[in-house]
Amino acid sequence: MDKLRVGVIGCGGHAQIHFGMIAAEPRLHLAGIAEIDPKRLADNTAKHRPEHSFTDYRQLFDQARLDLVHITTLPAHLTAIVVECLKRGLHVSVEKPPGMSAAETAQMAQAASQSKGKALVSFNRRYIPQVLAVRRLLKERGGAIQCSATYHKNQSILDQWLNAGLLPDPVICDAIHHVDLLRWLAGSGQDRAAIPVSVYSEVEDGSRPAAHRHQAVVRFDSGAVGSLMSHYGVGFRIQRAEAHAEDFSAYLELTAEPQCELYQALSGEGGTTRGTKLEEPLDLEAVGGPGFNEVRHFTDCILGDHTPWSTLDDAVQTMKLAEAIRRGHKGLLA
Ligand SMILES: NC(=O)c1ccc[n+]([C@@H]2O[C@H](COP(=O)([O-])OP(=O)(O)OC[C@H]3O[C@@H](n4cnc5c(N)ncnc54)[C@H](O)[C@@H]3O)[C@@H](O)[C@H]2O)c1
């Protein structure tokens, strides 16, 4: 089988994660890269040895005979490149956030609807094997009824880029990972994230720039209720989530290497229940194995002609929810 020819546009910090995932996927071949910064282009060419490298991404499209493009620029630079990829019928992996606003995501989704190329948004929390295994256990027990996600950071360089107009506010740019994770944990069915119905959000930005604080309660169409807590001025970067079905609880620690604690209540005498910690490890093989990730999923979708789990259309829902949380929306969502 011929390998899919991949291009990467924007070879900064996070692109290195994509280069690693591409190199680990035997059905992909790194055909070319594009990066406007000549030093970064030279460094990445030496490091990853693509067939072609250019400062102008249009040359990459014209000369590298691509099937698939990973776009890992900052959000302000994303939309025009994604739309051009899709117009050319290429498959495209879009970094999060998918654009500066839900309107930009919708513009890209519109281009995808008219393209023979598929698009996947890199909401990578959805593809963490431990998250997928927890989701499977929740489904076996009738689905999540309650979930929560925490996404905290101490102040970071986000502020400089935010001021330069290259990023939307942190909860849309970054904590969106856990806004999307709430939708994913609350969703019913293997490939469906829940649709938010209402949100009650409290926003306090404090006096320091970009140290935003959000607390939100979201009701989903699945019946589940989720809550998000996010603060960009805490003591450390912490990322956690929990999800509960009837008599079942999962606590996910996602700050570094994913870890999970599971609890199950068992029936006792007289209608009582006794809670037990489940000691068996999560069944990662049942959800694609410990090496599963969004690049493998997207390769499966392209070769098998399936729809990815995180399409641009679906990402519009996550962007709208993140925007509603950011503006302190209270009530039903349109
Ligand atoms: N999923 C995650 O966990 C995660 C983590 C970090 C960053 N990200 C996302 O990855 C994206 C990139 O972040 P980063 O930290 O790597 O930024 P970065 O600034 O290090 O890299 C972006 C690169 O894109 C290049 N670029 C801009 N316009 C270009 C163009 N027209 N053609 C070619 N190259 C162009 C820049 O020169 C730069 O090298 C952001 O959207 C960010 O939100 C995701």
At 32-43, the pLDDT tens digits run 999 999 999 999
How far is Cα 65 from Cα 54, in angstroms, rounded to an integer? 14
Phi, psi of 68 (to 5 degrees): -140, 140
User: Which residues does 135 contact at the CB level (< 8 Å), separation at least 6?
Assistant: 184, 185, 187, 190
Q: Are residues 46 and 116 in the same domain?
A: yes
Protein residue with its CA nearest to atom 8 in ligand 1: 14
Q: What's the CATH code of the domain at 210?
A: 3.30.360.10
Position 140, amino acid? E
Q: Where are the alpha helices (DSSP H) in 49-190?
A: 57-63, 78-87, 102-113, 129-140, 158-163, 170-173, 176-186
- The total of structural domains in the chain comes to 2
Same domain, 161 and 63: no
Say what percent of the chain tops pLDDT 90.
Answer: 88
Domain final position from 124, 154, 176 = 124
φ and ψ of 30, to 5 deg = -75, 100
End residue of a domain, out of 101, 124, 147: 124
The pLDDT of residue 157: 63
What range does the domain containing 132 cover? 126-290+311-332
pLDDT at position 123 is 98
Residue after which a domain boundary falls, among 92, 124, 156: 124
| Strands 4-9 vs 68-71: parallel, antiparallel or unpaired | parallel
- pLDDT of 48 reads 98
- Please choose from 19, 35, 74, 156 the residue to mutate so as to test ligand 1's pocket, defined by most ligand atoms within 8 A of CB: 74
Please indicate whether residue 36, judged by its CB atom, sits closer than 6 Å to ligand 1: yes
267 Cβ contact list (under 8 Å, min separation 6)? 273
- What's the whole-number average pLDDT of the chain? 95
In a domain, 160, yes or no: yes
**Looking at the structure, do residues 153 and 18 belong to the same domain, yes or no?**
no
Residues 147 and 273 in one domain: yes
Q: Which residue has the tokens 């460094």?
A: 43
**Average pLDDT over every residue of 45-72:** 98
184 lines ligand 1 (CB under 6 A): no
CATH of the domain at 45: 3.40.50.720
Is the same domain home to 208 and 156? Answer: yes
More confident: 303 or 269: 303
* Per-residue pLDDT, 20: 98
Is residue 120 pLDDT above 80, yes or no? yes
Q: Check pocket membership of 15 for ligand 1, CB cut-off 6 A.
A: yes
Residue 141 domain-assigned? yes
Question: Could you tell me if residue 210 is inside a domain?
Answer: yes
pLDDT at 178 over 90: yes
Instruction: Identify whether residues 99 and 216 lie together within a single domain.
Output: no
Query: According to DSSP H, which parts of 194-293 are helical?
Result: none
Q: What's the average model confidence in pLDDT over 151-166? A: 80
